[in-house]
Amino acid sequence: MSLSHALLGLLAASPATGYDLAREFERDFGRYAWQAGHASIYPELGKLAARELVQVVDEGPRGSKTYDITPAGREELRQWLLRPPGSGVVRNSHVLRMFLIPVLDEDDQRAMLAAIEEQATAAAAELRVVLSTIPPSDGSPRSELGRLAAEFGLAQYEATRAWARRTLDGLGGSATRTPARGPRASVR
């Protein structure tokens, strides 16, 4: 279960309330890495606190509680990050949609690929703006974390855009409307 590690990671960068964390999950972090709503964040923070991997370091107005990672939490996070990347959860409905494009007829394929290209271009442009507002390197993990996320996202969007363009171009001439079906081929 990676929500706990996502929370530990964000808290390792700097203390935050559950509300802060929920907002970050709505931004890049949740767009590329791991999405979660407040309904799963608050209970998880409670569990992490019970395991003493995080702790409440401040209580503010409106009953807000600021959490910080503990040394034990930091160690747990480090172990998880350094663990060789074997299996892991991968579930991405956007990628799923891309993979299924070939089952559409050519007109629909073109429409979808064009939409993907457009969306990737727009998202990349947006990230470039974001990146320009982050100082190149001040050495602190707080801005580093955001910059890394943005740079990774930008690279992915660029790759997606180029792939969509290439695939769209490759569609070129052939006008097969409903291609033949055959026995199952390994999706590989």
Partner DNA sequence: TTTCGACATGTCAATACTGACATGTCGAAG
Partner DNA sequence: CTTCGACATGTCAGTATTGACATGTCGAAA
Positions touching DNA (CB under 7 A) are 1-3, 17-20, 22-23, 35-40, 42-46, 60-65, 89, 91
Should residue 168 be labelled a site residue for a copy of itself when binding is judged by CB under 8 A?
Answer: no
How is residue 68 written in tokens? 């910080």
Should residue 14 be labelled a site residue for a copy of itself when binding is judged by CB under 8 A?
Answer: yes
Contact at 8 Å (CB) between 44 and 53? no
Contact at 8 Å (CB) between 24 and 10? yes
Among 63, 85, 132, 173, binds a copy of itself (CB under 8 A): 85
Report the amino acid identity of residue 78: R
Should residue 143 be labelled a site residue for a copy of itself when binding is judged by CB under 8 A?
Answer: yes
Hey, which residues does 68 pair with through a beta bridge? 55
76 contact partners, CB below 8 Å, separation of at least 6: 8, 53
In the complex, least distance from residue 90 CB atom to DNA, rounded to whole angstroms: 9
Among 4, 6, 41, 54, binds a copy of itself (CB under 8 A): 6
Among 29, 44, 48, 117, binds a copy of itself (CB under 8 A): 29
In the complex, least distance from residue 69 CB atom to DNA, rounded to whole angstroms: 16
Q: How far apart are alpha carbons 83 and 79 in whole angstroms?
A: 6
* CB closer to DNA out of 3 and 168: 3
Residue in the structure block whose two tokens are 């990230």: 127
